[in-house]
A and B are shown apart, each in its own frame.
Chain A
């Protein structure tokens, strides 16, 4: 089974890497640094909530959160194999990594689906 889905996993890795490269720096800079440090004023609840009612925002957030999680799963798997020499735990590591990405995706989908 692993061999069959490897191209898909690689595609998710590469799509997620592109999303993270293009969009994470600006989001992380604003949400993680500029807003908390008071360099810029954080958007208020109403403004963000209004944004979230739009289907395009929901689709955007789904892509923004889910794909980079799969990027992490794929890359981190190999980091563990090579960096920590855990080749013998291949299957366990794969299940944990992709499982976590799937869980995060399911949570994102659930929240975006039920938010009102």
Chain B
């Protein structure tokens, strides 16, 4: 006999209701939750697009031109539009959640949520402007 107890080996069959795979469509906040979780797919999609661009740049001017042409096809325009909306949803939900994930104290007082959220949006604005400036500067 082993010393480990086998709690789960002989347990009686528990009664469990089968939950539908579509459980998250029954309630609006569940739907928002699953949509938020799904944003990660579009985050990964765009990371791969950027990796693809990097490979094109490494291969040379023709490969880069081909990359630009592929992004103009309706399939990619549609995908990028959907991905953009999901990535925006990710950004907004992520910023709004930060004060819940991170409590900051200054001189013993808790920094109010709106300050942390506001700082996130300010950083978002500044960084977006910086990226746009660098990419649109000289050509």
Contact = CB atoms under 8 A, between A and B. Distances in A.
Given A44-B139, A79-B38, A49 B71 contact: no
Interface string B106-139: 0000000000000010011001100110111011
A29 to B, nearest CB: 6
Interface of B: 19, 21, 24, 34, 37-41, 43-44, 46-51, 53-55, 57-58, 60-61, 64-65, 68, 71-72, 76-77, 80-81, 83-84, 87-88, 90-91, 94-95, 101, 120, 123-124, 127-128, 131-132, 134-136, 138-139
Contact of B54 (A27, A68, A71, A112): A112
Contacts of B24: 83
19 contacts: A18-B94, A20-B94, A21-B95, A21-B124, A24-B90, A32-B80, A33-B77, A36-B68, A43-B135, A45-B65, A52-B57, A68-B43, A68-B44, A71-B40, A72-B41, A79-B40, A84-B21, A111-B54, A115-B54
A69 B136 CA distance: 26
Contacts of A47: 138-139
A32 B37 contact: no
Interface of A: 14, 16-18, 20-33, 35-37, 40-45, 47-49, 51-52, 61, 64-65, 68-69, 71-72, 74-76, 78-79, 82-85, 104, 107-108, 111-112, 114-115
A75 B91 contact: no
Closest 6 CB pairs of A and B: A32-B80, A72-B44, A75-B40, A26-B128, A21-B94, A21-B91
B66 to A, nearest CB: 11
A104 B135 contact: no
Given A18-B94, A47-B138, A32 B41 contact: no
Nearest to B126: A22
Contacts of B132: 26, 30
Contacts of A61: 50, 54
B19 A85 contact: yes
B51 A25 contact: no
B46 A27 contact: yes
B50 A20 contact: no
A30 B135 contact: yes
A22 B38 CA distance: 18
A104 B61 CA distance: 23
